[in-house]
Structure 1
C-alpha cells in the first residue's frame, strides 16, 4: 500500500501490514525490541517527541490499545490528547475528517485512530495535511497493524526469528477479526512455514484472506504439533446473528483447554489479543498457565507503539 510510504520508502502512516515491505516491518520489530527497557518506566527518551502532540482519536471503546498508545507517546515525551467520540462534536454531526482538520489546526500532527468502519483510517490519511501521520488502531474488520506487530514481536521472542520453521495456528472468528488479518499479513511477510486456521465455517472468511493457509474445522487435528496457538475472541453478537449455536457448543468444539493444548508441541505458546472470554474460547487455566504469553503481548504493545510513533514523528 504505497500511500503508507514516502518517496524515500519511509513510513508516512501505518494503516495496514498488507504489502508492507519486509525490511520496514523488521526495522519496527528490531526497534521495538530495543525500546522494551524504556517501555515500562524512565524518562531517558522524553526528548524524542518533545513538543509534538499525539491524539488518540477513538470512535470505538478500547482499553489495551488506547492505554498503551498513550503510555508510548508519554515515554517519548509527546503531549497527549484523548478524544472521546461520545462527548465530542461528532455527536452534533461533525465528520471525522472535520474533526481531524480541527485538531490539525491546533498543532496536532500525530493521530492514533480507531474506527468501526473498514477503510476509515486510510480515508482520513488521504485528507490529512503534509507532516501529519496516522496510525490505524483498528478499523472495522479490516486491520489492526500494531497488534500484528506486537504479536510478531512476542512470537519472535518466544520462538526465535526463523519463521519459516514455525507452525502457527489461528483459531476462532477470523471472518470478523481485524487482528487475524493483520497477523496473517505479518506471518506471510516473515515467511512463516505453516500457517493454520481453524474455526466453524460460519466464522471463516471467503474473500481470499486465508490464501496459503491450511484451513480446518477440526480444532483437535489442527493443533497437532503446532508451535503457537493464537486464540481469537468470540464476539457474542455472533450468537444473535445465528453464526454460533451456543457458547457451550463453541467451547466444546473450539475452546482451548489444558487437555487440548497437549496436542500442540510440548513448548508451544498460547496467545490472545484480549479481551478474553474465559471459559468460552480459552480456559482460565490456559490463559494464566505457563505457556501463556497474553500479558507479554500487552507489555510488548507499549514498545511496539513507541517504535511506530518514533518512526512516524521523530524527524
Structure 2
C-alpha cells in the first residue's frame, strides 16, 4: 500500500487487520522507540480529525512539525506538491493531508515522487478513509461484524466524503447499505438504494447521520423544516430497533439533522466514534510506517495478543 488514500484500495483483509490493531491499541497502548516526525497539512478547518491525529501521534511517540496555511509559503504561490516535498526534505516521515480539492493526491503524484507515506485526512467531497475506519471499529465493537447488517447513511449524500468512503467499505465487508436524502442531496454516482427516513429507522441496525455541508453548496440550503421532514426526530428514534445505534461523523448541527436530545442518548455512539478515532489513527500511522519499512516490529513496544474479529 503506497499511501492511505481511499477505501477502494483496501482489501477486506487489510481493513480487518487495521481494526484488530486499533482494538489492540485501545486495550494495550503501543509506543515507538525511534525518533520520527509527522507533518499535519490541513488546508481546511478541522477539530476532530486534526486533534485526534495529534493525540494519536503523541501517544505512539511521533513528533509533530507545525503547519499553518496562513503562515506558510502557500500564500506566496507554493504548490501542494512543493509543500509536501519541503516537509519530506526537512525530515518528516509521514504526511497527513486534508485538502478541499477532490483530486489533490493526483496533483502530488503527477508532479513527482514522495519517498514517505501520505494519509488522506479528507479530500474534498470524495473520501475520508480514516473516518470510515473509526466508524467501522465502532460498529465492530457493537455487533462483532458488519456482514448482513443494515446501515442507513442519511443526510447530504451529494457533498459527503464520509458517505462515499463508508458506503464503499461497508459493501466490501458484506453490509446492506441504504441511503436517505432530501431532494437535491442525492448522489447519483452511488448505486445504493434510497429510502425515506421513516422506513430507515425501522429497518436499520445503524443510522448514520450527516450534516448539511453548507460550505460545499453554491446556495445555502434551507434548514427550517429539515429535521421534521428528513432528520432523526424523537418520534422517528422511538421506532428504531432496540439494538440499533445512532452514528454521526460530526460536527453536529443539533436540531437540524438530529434532535439535540438524541446526541447523547442511550443508542448514540457519536462520542464513542470520536474516542475510536484516536485508536484507529494510531493503528493507521503504525501500519503505513511499517509498510514503508520506516519502522519494524522491534521498534514498537510489545503488546498482548488478542483476537477480536
User: How high is the TM-score relative to the length of structure 2?
Assistant: 0.89
In the aligned structure 2, how far is the partner of 1:225 from the partner of 1:79?
A: 46
- Look up the SS of the partner of 1:285 in the other structure: helix
- Superposed CA RMSD in Å reads 1.7
- Look up the SS of the partner of 2:66 in the other structure: strand
8 Å contact from structure 1 (residues 54, 73) kept in 2: yes
8 Å contact from structure 1 (residues 170, 231) kept in 2: yes
Determine the structure 1 residue equivalent to 2:307. Answer: none
Match of 1:129 among 105, 114, 117: 114
Determine the structure 1 residue equivalent to 2:81. Answer: 97
8 Å contact from structure 1 (residues 17, 145) kept in 2: yes
Determine the structure 2 residue equivalent to 1:204. Answer: 186
Determine the structure 1 residue equivalent to 2:271. Answer: 295
Match of 2:8 among 18, 30, 39: 18
In the aligned structure 2, how far is the partner of 1:136 from the partner of 1:147?
A: 10
Matched, 1:51 2:24: no
Structure 2 gaps of 5+ residues are: 296-309
Structure 1 gaps of 5+ residues are: 6-11
In the aligned structure 1, how far is the partner of 2:161 from the partner of 2:66?
A: 23
Aligned pairs for 1:68-79 (under 5 A) are 68-79=52-63
> Cα offset for 1:239?
7.3
Match of 2:198 among 212, 220, 228: 220
> Cα offset for 1:52?
1.1
In the aligned structure 2, how far is the partner of 1:112 from the partner of 1:59?
A: 11
> Cα offset for 1:237?
4.8
Determine the structure 1 residue equivalent to 2:301. Answer: none
Aligned pairs for 1:1-315 (under 5 A) are 5=1, 12-37=2-27, 45-47=31-33, 50-125=34-109, 127-130=112-115, 132-161=116-145, 163-192=146-175, 194-207=176-189, 209=190, 211=191, 213-216=192-195, 218-237=196-215, 241=219, 244=221, 246-314=222-290, 315=295
8 Å contact from structure 2 (residues 211, 257) kept in 1: yes
8 Å contact from structure 2 (residues 227, 233) kept in 1: no
- Summarize deviations over 1:265-291 as a string: whole Å, max 9, x none: 112100000100000001111101111
8 Å contact from structure 1 (residues 52, 108) kept in 2: yes
118-127 vs 60-69, greater mean Cα deviation: 118-127
> Cα offset for 1:164?
2.4
In the aligned structure 2, how far is the partner of 1:20 from the partner of 1:82?
A: 29
Determine the structure 2 residue equivalent to 1:9. Answer: none
User: How high is the TM-score relative to the length of structure 1?
Assistant: 0.88
In the aligned structure 2, how far is the partner of 1:148 from the partner of 1:122?
A: 21
In the aligned structure 1, how far is the partner of 2:66 from the partner of 2:170?
A: 32
Structure 1 pair 122–239 and aligned structure 2 pair: CA distance change class (3 A) = closer
> Cα offset for 1:238?
6.9
Larger RCO: Structure 1 or Structure 2 (Cα < 8 Å, ≥ 6 residues apart)?
Answer: 2
8 Å contact from structure 1 (residues 125, 134) kept in 2: no
4+ residue segments displaced more than 4 Å: 237-240
